[in-house]
Amino acid sequence: MGVTAPGHAVRLIGVSKSFGAVRAVNAVDLGIGRGETVALLGRNGAGKSTSIAMILGLQQPDAGRVLLFGCTPEQAVLDGRVGAMLQEGRLIPRVTVAELVGFVAGAYPHPLMVDEALELAGLTGLGNRRADKLSGGQAQRVRFALALAGNPELVVLDEPTAALDVEARRAFWQSMRTYARRGNTVLFSTHYLAEADENADRIVVMDHGRIAADGSGDRIKRMVGGNLVSFDLAGAATEGLAQLPGVASLEIRGDRALLHTTDSDATVIALAQLGLVRNLEVAPTSLEDAFLTLTDDRTHDRTDDLEYDLAVNRSEAPGSRKVTA
Ligand SMILES: Nc1ncnc2c1ncn2[C@@H]1O[C@H](COP(=O)(O)OP(=O)(O)OP(=O)(O)O)[C@@H](O)[C@H]1O
């Protein structure tokens, strides 16, 4: 994706925000380098939207500081360095797409040319269409064009592909990547884990207001036991399988054994020596699995040698189990 330049585009330092008794964001430290594309991933209520609102200066932290390009969010927004696409929001009726983008661009000090914003958002040829007569995917791309109109260095997108079909999502991410390739910084939140893996350089998993994991999709998958090795037992005993080289956990489903392993080569060699190779399959752990494991209330006491920043200090969680990766 984009080329990372020195310095942080986004910096959160010990940021907390509560609503009554709910700690929506809890002592979060986060740095996003210039040119990075970062996905903020988490379940409902994890604290993603609240973090985004503080990054945009729409809400103030109770504690800690938010800096965008070393300034306050308010200053960065005033300087036209930040574009945002928040959830839903109706487009103004009875104006064309080009008029709407031009109107918003006019409010910024160094805007893009309207045609350029339309092209970047994948709207070339649609400039003369009425903004309120578009498909869901096209309307979402207009919102993206509005976020880009001021020629920002950073765009923040809150669940940009919610409610879009597969085709529209693909088109949207293509536009986002084109913008990111220009060296810009992108922060987006999503529930679509595969999209985070495909479209971000880095994934920050939020859980209960904290950062539960921070790394590339591949690294997050490796954390929870890189591969799934499965085979037909065909009546073979299951004792000892969990102790084979690389195996992090064992699951038996009917006659099939599923081994989560951090070293699939070693696991497969050991299985072959035991003659357990019937319908043997090796598949990477899906990001979905990785995410569920990371935010599973039983999985907190994890240590590993990867450069992850794990929230393992949720001592309130009952029944912690150690998972060795
Ligand atoms: N204005 C508010 N008033 C009261 N509670 C709030 C408010 N905004 C957020 N919360 C609470 O803070 C917590 C974090 O919410 P937030 O919207 O940041 O999560 P999220 O990860 O964006 O969730 P979603 O994926 O559902 O949008 C939740 O428990 C939510 O109910």
CATH number assigned to the domain comprising residue 237: 3.30.70
Question: Considering the chain, what percentage of its residues have pLDDT values greater than 90?
Answer: 58
Structure ipTM over 0.85, yes or no: yes
Question: Is 270 inside any structural domain?
Answer: yes
Q: Which of 196-210, 282-296, 299-313 has the highest mean pLDDT?
A: 196-210
Residue of 298 and 153 predicted with greater confidence: 153
- Residue 210 lies inside a defined structural domain of this protein: no
| Tokens coding 146 | 């509005």
Distances (CA, A) of 131 to 87, 121, 167, 172: 17, 14, 20, 17
Ligand 1 pocket member 50 (CB < 6 A): yes
17 vs 312 pLDDT, higher one: 17
- Using a 6 Å cutoff on CB, does residue 17 contact ligand 1? no
Q: What pLDDT, on a 0 to 100 scale, did the predictor assign at position 321?
A: 26
Q: Is the CB of 149 under 6 A from ligand 1?
A: no
Q: Is the pLDDT at 324 greater than 60, yes or no?
A: no
Which pLDDT score, from 0 to 100, does residue 313 have? 26
Give the Cα separation of 147 and 89 in Å (integer).
Answer: 13
The encoded tokens of residue 261 equal: 């392993």
Q: Is the CB of 42 under 6 A from ligand 1?
A: yes
3-class secondary structure, 32: strand
On whether the CB atoms of residues 246 and 263 are closer than 8 A, the answer is yes
Residues 6+ apart with CB under 8 A from 275: none
In angstroms, the CA 81 to CA 111 distance is 10
Asked whether residue 83 is domain-assigned, the answer is no
Mean pLDDT computed over every residue of the chain: 84
Q: CB–CB of 257/233 below 8 Å?
A: yes
Structural domain for 274, as ranges: 225-284
Half-sphere exposure (Cβ direction) of 208: Cα atoms closer than 13 Å? 15
d(CA 175, CA 179): 6
Q: Which of 45-54, 74-83, 307-316 has the lowest mean pLDDT?
A: 307-316
**E strand or H helix at 222:** helix 217-223
Residue to substitute in 12, 26, 49, 291 for testing ligand 1 pocket (most ligand atoms within 8 angstroms of CB): 49
User: Would the pTM count as exceeding 0.90?
Assistant: no
Contact partners, residue 108, CB within 8 Å, separation at least 6:
80, 149, 150, 151
If one compares 105 and 217, the residue with the highest pLDDT of the two is 105
Q: Is residue 179 part of a domain?
A: no
Arithmetic mean of pLDDT, 208-223: 84
How many residues are present in the chain?
Answer: 325
264 ligand 1 Cβ < 6 A: no
Q: Per the domain annotation, does 190 fall within a domain?
A: no
Is residue 259 situated within a structural domain?
Answer: yes
Judged against a pLDDT cut of 90, whether residue 297 lies above it is answered with no
- Number of domains composing the chain: 1
Does 231 reside within a domain? Answer: yes
